């Protein structure tokens, strides 16, 4: 298969720099793969790796990451703010140049079944690779978290591949295929986690808020502050500028300002152009107005 595929796995380790380094090295050690970004968060106790390359190489790098995580992470001792099912919590494959969504669905299914057999790990397929409608949304699969998953294995959470039991140290893994998304957080100038949770509920699509937006509220430390954590599933439907305005409006109504935004991983150029267009009120900012865009396809 020709072309380029992106993979954006999330692992349940964001505090031990040496362990994160070894997992990053496992990815980067696969020939043909470029590790584009790595982002870690101490409070969430979570790291996000972004890498890309030819499909076969990317699939091999995803396996290398799971092998490394199996040596580094024990879910029995894991604590963090972010919901999670396993050591390698989610492994999405994203079509880029010369690849299709159908290609990535095939990669996700092949990868998931191989991981299940190799590690004795329960695996779930989500997004475009989902095996059933109730597994399209990642939050629906992840809802019981590692601690509550085993109780539901015989009913709502029978795995798509692998044994119907939680792996004691690795937990479970979710993999799938999806378009590019933007992981974006906004920190509030308050320690009021209830406010962050209320804002998150009001803006997320599942509660009747902004389309193509997932959101949760968290409390962070060092320094203490509240955070609205979001996934923008389609920035052409709801832009970064729109979610910033919506969060800011609700925070200000409660007498609270915003501290900063935080981008997790990478985002598409077109999403950045949307933000610039909105801020500068240009009435449209096409790619051909950007110098560097003339040198990329």
**pLDDT score for 126:** 98
State CA 290 to chain mean position distance: 28
| Higher pLDDT pick, 269 / 254 | 254
Query: Where residue 281 falls among pLDDT bands split at 50, 70, 90?
Result: confident
C-beta separation of 247 from 239 below 8 A: no
pLDDT over threshold 70, residue 69: yes
Q: In this predicted structure, what is the pLDDT of residue 262? A: 95
Please give the domain boundaries of the chain with CATH numbers for all domains: 5-177 (3.30.990.10), 182-295 (3.30.70.670)
> Pick the catalytic residue: 78, 82, 109, 167?
82
**Environment class of residue 127 by beta-carbon count within 10 Å: exposed (0-12), middle (13-18) or buried (19+)?**
buried
Residue 1 pLDDT level (bands cut at 50, 70, 90)? low
Rounded CA gap, 152 and 160, in Å? 14
pLDDT attached to residue 21: 98
Q: What integer pLDDT is reported at residue 107 of this predicted model?
A: 98
Secondary structure of residue 177 in the 3-state scheme: strand
Show Cβ contacts of residue 234 under 8 Å, excluding neighbours closer than 6 positions: 179, 181, 211, 212
Residue count (the chain): 297
The answer on pLDDT for 237 being more than 90 is: yes
pLDDT of residue 289: 85
pLDDT digits (tens, 9 = 90+) for 88-133: 999 999 999 899 999 999 999 999 999 999 999 999 999 999 999 9
Residue 82 catalytic? yes
pLDDT of 297 above 70: no
């Amino acid at each position: 298969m020709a072309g380029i595929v992106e993979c954006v796995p999330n692992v349940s380790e964001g505090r031990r720099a040496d362990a994160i380094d070894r997992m990053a090295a496992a990815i980067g050690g696969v020939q043909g793969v470029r590790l584009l970004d790595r982002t870690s968060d101490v409070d969430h106790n979570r790291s996000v790796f972004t890498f890309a390359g030819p499909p076969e190489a990317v699939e091999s790098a995803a396996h290398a990451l799971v092998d490394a995580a199996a040596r580094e992470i024990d879910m029995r001792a894991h604590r963090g703010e972010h919901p999670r099912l396993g050591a390698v919590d989610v492994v999405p494959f994203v079509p880029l140049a010369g690849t299709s969504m159908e290609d990535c669905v095939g990669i996700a299914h092949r990868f998931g079944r191989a991981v299940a057999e190799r590690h004795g790990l329960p695996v779930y397929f989500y997004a475009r690779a989902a095996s059933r409608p109730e597994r399209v949304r990642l939050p629906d699969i992840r809802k019981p978290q590692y601690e509550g998953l085993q109780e539901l294995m015989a009913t709502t959470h029978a795995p798509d591949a692998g044994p119907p039991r939680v792996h004691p140290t690795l937990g479970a893994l979710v993999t799938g295929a999806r378009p590019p998304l933007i992981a974006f957080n906004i920190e509030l100038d308050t320690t009021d986690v209830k406010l962050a949770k209320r804002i998150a509920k009001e803006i997320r699509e599942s509660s009747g808020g902004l389309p193509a937006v997932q959101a949760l509220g968290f409390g962070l430390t060092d320094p203490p502050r509240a955070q609205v954590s979001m996934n923008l599933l389609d920035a052409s439907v709801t832009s970064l500028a729109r979610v910033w305005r919506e969060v800011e409006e609700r925070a200000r109504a409660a007498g609270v300002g915003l501290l900063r935004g935080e981008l997790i991983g990478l985002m598409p150029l077109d999403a950045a152009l949307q933000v610039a267009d909105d801020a500068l009120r240009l009435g449209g900012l096409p790619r051909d107005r950007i110098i560097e865009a003339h040198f990329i396809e």
